[in-house]
A and B are shown apart, each in its own frame.
Chain A
Amino acid sequence: MVEEIGKTAEGDLIINVGPQHPATHGVLHLIITLNGETIKKVEPHLGYIHRSIEKMCESLTYRQFIYTTSRMDYLSAHINNHACALTVEKGLGIEIPARAQVIRVLMDELTRIASHELWWGAMAMDLGAFTPFFHAFRERETINDIMEETCGARLTMNYMVPGGVMMDLHPNFQNRVKNFLTLYKRKIHEYDELVTGNIIFQNRMKGVGVLSKEAAISFGVTGPAARGSGVSCDVRKLYPYEIYNTLEFDEILETEGDSFARYMVRLREMNESIKIIEQLIDNIPEGDFQAKTKAVLKLPKGEFYQRVETARGELGVYIVSEGGTTPYRIKFRSPGFSNLSCLDHITRGGKIGDLIASMGTLDLVIPDIDR
């Protein structure tokens, strides 16, 4: 453990936040240098949940390694699996059936809503409001039920496999999703009434943790955090995969770059996901849910890269293959790691209370950072 409690030569106080701290959403360790209440430096310490997933993947086959990625960014488990499946398909040159593509996009967007809902509840809890947590989990449970019925798991699904999806949709799927849409539309105004319009909340969020457009680009920040600063970086729009180029949805952009802008991006993004689901739910094509693939997958010698948009930003999967059944090297470009790198920049000079608001709106998932 790092023993860095004390004072610097200039008389500044050094305190540790984490690794066991409720506001870090896991086991992130921050070493903060304080002058009074003003933050002079924030130094994140990583590795408290480093599970060596990249190294593990080198000894797992192309079908097996996907399960480890559900545990990486567990709130976007589907989208992580999707990225890996896409990379392997790219290497093999497989065409995926239309039904599988639609199922994948539906699942991705449901995951995105579930992830943003959890973020919303947890962030409000960080700022001292406990009720939003229960409201968010009420809707999240309905999505979990949908996932459970079709994929057999609530959180770590491993549903997307090279060639399509593991099994067909449950007969109840469409009904359940439609019920969820009605429930969601009936309840979404509560989110605004409870939190967004709250004057205390706005005072704590507006002008706090400002990330300029230039800084966002230079730190490699992606996802809603970057779109809050006006950086157009939605992979679904810029480098469309699956059927995203045929769908109608907007890329949400805000220009202020503060915590409130990042908050609004996520809230509005949930509505965009709803739009996508509405377009697809009645138009799921008939056909196979999986392409015919060989029992043992062998990627040709070479390097393959695919990026997708997870709930937190751009996830890149980079596979180096030597032609065998297991990858030679796998690298995940995880969105959380890059988003964390700007934490020092946006909190420096601010008050220690604002650190929580800034960190909450970056929506960090620690196992995604450490892998």
Chain B
Amino acid sequence: MDKVIEFENISKEYSGFSIKNIDLNINKGYITGFVGANGSGKSTTIKMIMNLVKPDSGEVNIFEMNHNNDEKDIKQKIGFVYDDNIYYEGLNLRDLHKIVAPAYKNWDKKAFQHYIETFDLPLNQPIKYFSKGMRMKASLVLALSHNPELLIMDEPTAGLDPVFRKELLNILQEIMMNENKTIFFSTHITSDLEKIADYIVFIKDGEIIFNHSINSLQNEFALVKGDRSLIDRDTEDEFDYINYKGEYFEAMTQNPKVIYEVFGDEVSIDNISLEEIMYFLNGAD
């Protein structure tokens, strides 16, 4: 499978936080969701993809190119959406268009017009009067109108109401319908991912915990519930995390088969939601 983003042994040290020897591969043609708690390294990772942050060591390859040699060629192929406001508040979309469009060789005015109409955005109103949802749409218009092969988004759904989140997810699905596009986006709203993501990358304290397809995730993780008395020092080791609730326990396992062999029908083994996986992996108890 073609890789669009490749991180090889990437490290970055900040005071009080570090990214530790990350390897990361993002496949071409899929939507990959990037999840993790606040401060786990999502934004830093995204900034390294965009060359906004330079790693202390390791190699970042985008489209098999390197920012040191081909920064402009790489960025020609990327559309970006950030959760903080990077566009000048006092300007309207017409002026922002004049600023952003000339940067790209493949800028498509018709596509720009099309998205403006589809998203129902005013061209002459300064964006400081835009709602959070409208700003997100405006960022998307500016990110999509040069027909990027890779769309990078940092927390695009943060602070959006459910109706608009759904709309955004539909838009992303539409983008994926045509051609070989790749979307990589960070979020902490896991229900968004279950709807549209093909792959999930989970980061915790600057380390990639897993990078799985959403289907294999369902096969590899399971939620186990049963009587507390079943858990002793030996059986405890079969689980990644255990929560006790009165007479019962609730645990996550990465070996559903083994659990079934050990406990048989004495416990219930169920599908686990992404939210629960994140909850257990973040060690919240």
A binds B: no
Binding site for B on A (CB under 8 A): none
